[in-house]
Structure 1
Amino acid sequence: MAALGVGSALLPSLTRIALADDALVGPGGIPLARPDKPVTLPLWEDPIKSGLAPETDGTFTIYNYSDYIDKKLVDEFGKLHKVKTQITTFDSMDQCITRLATHAVRADVTNITPDRLAQAVAGKLIKPVNPDYVPNLKKNVWPTLHSPFYDQGSRYTVPYTVYTTGIGWRNDKVKEDIPNLSNPWSIFWNSQAYKGFVGVLDDSREALVLAMLYRGKYDINTEDPAEIDAALADLKALIPICNPKVNITEYQTLPEGTCYLHHCWSGDLLGGVFSYMPEGTDPAVLSYWSAPKGKGPIQNDCWAISASTKKPVLAHLWLDYIVDNTVATDNFLNFNGYQPPMNSITPEKLIAEGRIPANLKTAVMTAEDFGGDAIQEMTLTPKGQALWQSAYAKFVSGA
């Protein structure tokens, strides 16, 4: 998607910065952020002033993925601030950005992923943040995400959840010792015995990255057509091997036993244990593996203030609310299973308290998992984005 409505005064200065750093640029001429190449996003307007009273009355609209925030917590926020609340959902980040850009949705706050931040800032779709209203960020969140590489100074976002991409499986069905294989990713290309019970993430970046990692390729933001075509060929090779289902329902199908092996996000295994484990089924039948740091994707999602908000102070208070220790932990353990990056949450503590089975310690991260030597799927140039999307479309269509 092309850059949206960038001011003429903003674009030249950004372009000069990018060229000076010899960096690839994305929407609006904003340099492409990478874990080892942090970016300070430009301010297209000044943040609101400190000390303002929050708005009351009317409706406060939260825009996010379906089943990603506990409505009970949303309702409690509304009662606290004397406003009605509503949740409006989207199916993909493409849909989110398009609806915000066309004003089909007028939200107060929105989920956003780091790879779409440059596009949202260039298009003036999200508002700058005044950190005075968000003290919980530095008080409660991992220090590595106080000033993340994709948004130095947290000018536009607060982190919401963290997760790795790896392999989930039913260890009562899959006989291979996946973590101890010389190449664990190769299990998908050797899964003939599980044909019809194998899944690949329905995501244009993640699916192709799976094939790249299988070949030991760790530049997961490559724009080399040859690398992308090779990944596509490897994905297509899976069809006669295991006839993979391409979906994102592994949080339900693995616990239910209707899927044995799935390319998945770490939060899906935890969410499956919390919400979808059939009665009488031991959660120890679920296993999860992710690659060591720098060898597999680690991601985080964020919250931002929508530019369309009529309640900017209250929107700031939402950002602070979502990184409150009690709220974040409740949303994680009692609803969506996706870990927030809170100092108070550790794998050891979750196991000791009986909140997660010991076998899923691998699905919980620590602050040390992030950093300059981690790999993260991030913004591409428009040309690069088109290459990835075209290749993925060929995979899912069988072309």
Structure 2
Amino acid sequence: MRGGRLSRREALAALSTAGLSATTLRLLGGSAWADSPPDAVGPGGIPLARPNRPVKLPVFQKPIESGLKPEKGGTFNIFNYADYVDKKLLDAFAKKYDVNVQVTTFDSMDQAITRLATKAVRNMDVTNVISNRIAQAVAGKLVQPINKDYIPNLQKNCWPQFMSPFYDVDAQYTIPYTVYTTGIGWRSDKVSEDIPKMENPWSIFWQSEKYKGYVSILDDSREALVAAMLYRGEYDLNTEDPKVIDKALEDLLALTSICNVKVNITGYQTLPEGSCWLAHNWSGNVLSAVLAFMPEGGDPTQIQYWAPPPGKGPIQNDMWAVCAGSKKPVLAHLWLNFLLDEDNAYHNFVDYNGYQPPQNSITPERLVASKLIPENLHTAIMTAKDLGPDSLQEAALTNEGLKLWQSAYARFNGG
């Protein structure tokens, strides 16, 4: 199966519980905090990071020393979403360092944090993590600080923002893996509106009566509500105001009668096959549509994508960290460096999962010139300038805020 991103995004979409279990929250030191964004804190008293309010995470142990040799033999354990790294890459790493590579999978970030915290999984060396959960992992002492002497490809190949991201100042714990925007994908042979030129392109979903049965909204508790908020000109993607969230829910519910909206994460497949004409979508899904799922004889120039300009729409990233209990910490650092190798990152992207790594060498111009993607999809490729203190990111919420979002989404998706 090609769609490494299918399992990845299905996992995120499946998240339906309001935060971690009570047991795990106690392990991580979590509790519900007052809804006062500048002062709100999360597990362990760590402030809630925002692009314009960076947070330096506490350090509970020293990084490994420089100059150590990689551990030999045995098994190197990767904790990750299913099908999120090309098996060819896994095999190449195993061969290079003479080690067996074992991938243990999880279905959601909630599950990943819970399983690590309760020691339901043991001896993990590295884990995938997302920006709004890294503070939980640090508070729970589930990950260890990294020694960047072992990871020269971070400085050499990656966007400068990731040398000190807002959620992990000085990159003490993380290296980036993929970046993506959230926007609108559509078929130009079916949708007549010039969506990018609309006064508010998000309004297309609430004007889609003539496309009834061929419209979809992302099956994701944050993204779906955010689309409705952007339709109303609300740009606080991390609001915990019940009135704003309730209005977003009301607008989402209206889509059932307007266009009989479908709720899914399969725009990478439904757009190219023609079963969907207008889709709330991730940039990586649209790229996957032309890189992996375009049917024989299909025309990739008919697939279009619009995302808001920087600071006006969601932009997110996934990352990797070294587990606190790693038995092979040197090899774990080398895995991080291996993923950031220019060729490895490029081929994992274009040959497998379709989600862009934030590498300096990957540009819209390069991908279009190489004919990997048509000119009309250059908008799905991000550049470093898209990230900054004014970028909109779905960041960490207080536990009470998370419950508000999850509850509203459950009411929408439950019909």
Q: For the superposition of Structure 1 and Structure 2, which TM-score range results when normalised by the shorter chain?
A: over 0.9
Letter in 2 for 1:204: S
- Report Cα offsets for 1:132-173 as digits up to 9, x if no partner: 111110011011111111100111100001110001111111
* Aligned residues of 1:114 and 1:302 also touching (Cα < 8 A): yes
Q: Equivalent residues in 2 for 1:34-113 (5 A)?
A: 34-106=50-122, 107-113=124-130
TM-fit CA distance, 1:81: 0.7
Q: Which residue of 1 aligns with 2:295?
A: 278
* Aligned residues of 2:28 and 2:136 also touching (Cα < 8 A): no
Classify the secondary structure of the residue corresponding to 1:209. Answer: helix
| Stretches of structure 2 lacking an aligned partner (at least 5 in a row) | 1-19
Q: Equivalent residues in 2 for 1:142-157 (5 A)?
A: 142-157=159-174
TM, length-normalised to structure 2: 0.90
The reply on whether 1:320 has 2:337 as its aligned counterpart is yes
Q: Which residue of 2 aligns with 1:32?
A: 48
| Stretches of structure 1 lacking an aligned partner (at least 5 in a row) | none
TM, length-normalised to structure 1: 0.94
Q: Measure, in 2, the Cα distance between the counterparts of 1:96 and 1:27.
A: 16
* Aligned residues of 1:63 and 1:111 also touching (Cα < 8 A): yes
Aligned sequence identity (%): 64
Classify the secondary structure of the residue corresponding to 1:288. Answer: strand
Classify the secondary structure of the residue corresponding to 2:53. Answer: coil
What is the aligned counterpart of 1:263 among 277, 280, 290?
Answer: 280
Letter in 2 for 1:207: A
Distance 1:211 1:158, change over 3 A: same
* Aligned residues of 1:27 and 1:381 also touching (Cα < 8 A): no
Q: How many residues align?
A: 388
Q: Equivalent residues in 2 for 1:347-366 (5 A)?
A: 347-366=364-383
Q: Tell me which stretches of 4 or more aligned residues in structure 1 moved more than 4 Å.
A: none
* Aligned residues of 1:173 and 1:260 also touching (Cα < 8 A): yes
The reply on whether 1:247 has 2:264 as its aligned counterpart is yes
Q: Equivalent residues in 2 for 1:371-382 (5 A)?
A: 371-382=388-399
- Report Cα offsets for 1:13-33 as digits up to 9, x if no partner: xx9xxx9x9521111110011
Q: Measure, in 1, the Cα distance between the counterparts of 2:261 and 2:301.
A: 24
Classify the secondary structure of the residue corresponding to 2:170. Answer: coil
Q: Measure, in 1, the Cα distance between the counterparts of 2:241 and 2:374.
A: 41
Q: Measure, in 2, the Cα distance between the counterparts of 1:83 and 1:377.
A: 37
TM-fit CA distance, 1:309: 2.1
* Aligned residues of 1:5 and 1:122 also touching (Cα < 8 A): no
TM-fit CA distance, 1:312: 1.1
* Aligned residues of 1:251 and 1:269 also touching (Cα < 8 A): yes
Q: Which residue of 2 aligns with 1:5?
A: 27
* Aligned residues of 1:4 and 1:119 also touching (Cα < 8 A): no
Q: Measure, in 2, the Cα distance between the counterparts of 1:295 and 1:105.
A: 39
Letter in 1 for 2:47: P
TM-fit CA distance, 1:4: 5.0
